[in-house]
Chain A
Amino acid sequence: MFKPNLYFTPLNYDELYVLLEKYPDNSRIIGGGTTIYELAHKGLLSDINVLIDLKNLNLINIIEVNNSLKIETSVTFNQMENNSIITGSHSYSSISDSLKQIHPIQVKNVATIGGTICASIPFYDLPVSLVSSDSKIIISSSNGERSVPIDEFFIDYFFTSLQPGEFVRELLIPNLSNSAGAFEKFALTGNDWALVNASVQIQLDKNKCIKYIRIALGGGIGNKIIRAINVENSLINQIPNLNIINKSSKLIFDDVNPIDDVRASSNYRKKLYPVIIKKVILKSLNRLGVNLN
């Protein structure tokens, strides 16, 4: 049973590092707390008896730095959804798209960016758009800081590359010029996890040729978010048209082995992936002024 008996609110990084080193296995940093209670209700986290709350570190800012957007770990979904830098740039539109499709408001008001990635749950929507945006995760510990590409951060369900004594301090999302992102999800109801979701970032050159493309897939994809590498490779350096996009989207069949669960069969999900990939590519191209619908 989940019954933590110690709760700390460190006043600075040094106090936090002391706590993380003192309780390497039996502590959890709490963000909004929503994932923790959901897991606790399922009988998990019974080994956790120390909660660490970062509220006094005030990691609540969204700032533009060196052509990237820095989002600190305690920033909530609601804060991001209403941030004018995120809503005002096509470069971050996959992030805006996913936030719009995340429900309910009661979770968005408290859930944090740090919490959603550290949970490492591939059904979540925002991490998929952070993968297509090629985000970097800045991890701090008493030994200094390190930067991890988000692809390498997720290892398995609930399991990330964070080491004992470390915490996620912020994310950096690159602002890629002349690029646009897009995110979509298919779910059974407005308040359910995605059956499948997909996110893309596309950059075109002067001749409307695809110079850069990054596609991320989540939902019932398996143990972690993956890239649709075959689809990306087949579209790079192409001038996009419907025929090429139809053919390329179907290459995903070779890349995925989705899960079977109460919501949908693996085969059904497998059929949904090409459809949703095509949908996000067309949405992103549309934002870049290429309308193929």
Chain B
Amino acid sequence: MSVKISLIVNNQNYKLDVEPYETLNFILREKLGFTGTKQGCDTGGCGSCTVILDGKAVYSCMTFGVKVNGSNILTIEGLKKNEILDPVQKSFVDNAALQCGYCTPGFVMSVKALLDENKNPDEDTIRDYLVGNICRCTGYTKIIKAVKDLSKK
């Protein structure tokens, strides 16, 4: 039996019918077309599905869509403002902090959540916060550098 929910995604209101088992990841990608949020392991191990839900980083693959009725969600598509990249996106570009790019939207959203909580994280804090995102190209050094550059600003 489908349930009516409303969501704010990247400052736009949406009303839609969802099934109780559908994940936020499925809803974002398949029902609303926000395919920047990736689907990876589906079990909370890789972080590629990370979005910001009411100001906090969460795994969209493990979030019940019905449970987040009325919430405010930020995905990678919501970062760029007037064709200008968000500072987190720009720092990833400037530091070449991506190889294949599949993990990048998840990393960027986690970093955005970290910097919203803590403007100047040290390297230990950065590494600790990003434990839930993996890069199978193993490009961690440049990712950490991209965050450290932001931390100095």
Contacts and interface: CB of A to CB of B under 8 A. Distances in A.
A33 B44 contact: no
Contacts of A51: 20, 64, 66
Interface in A190-204: 190-191
B59 interface: yes
B124 to A, nearest CB: 11
B132 interface: yes
A183 B106 CA distance: 31
B44 A106 contact: yes
Contact of B20 (A5, A32, A78): A5
Contact of B57 (A2, A3, A106): A106
A41 B67 contact: no
A37 B23 contact: yes
Contact of B42 (A6, A32, A41, A191): A41
Interface residues of B, number: 32
Interface centre among A34, A106, A190 (most CB of B within 10 A): A106
Interface string B120-132: 0000000111011
A104 B82 CA distance: 33
A53 B44 contact: no
B21 A2 contact: yes
A4 B44 contact: no
A60 interface: no
Interface residues of A, number: 26
Contacts of A110: 56, 58, 62-63
Contact of B132 (A37, A78, A104): A104
Nearest to B65: A7
Given A37-B44, A107-B44, A6 B20 contact: yes
Which among A7, A37, A105 has the greatest number of chain B C-beta atoms within 10 A?
A: A105
B66 A109 contact: no
Interface of B: 1, 3, 19-21, 23, 42-45, 47, 50, 53, 56-59, 61-64, 66-67, 110, 113, 127-129, 131-134
Closest A-B pairs by Cβ, 10 of them: A104-B132, A7-B20, A109-B56, A37-B62, A190-B131, A103-B131, A106-B59, A34-B62, A191-B131, A4-B20
Given A30-B67, A107-B59, A107-B62, 6 more contacts: A3-B19, A37-B62, A51-B20, A104-B131, A105-B110, A110-B56
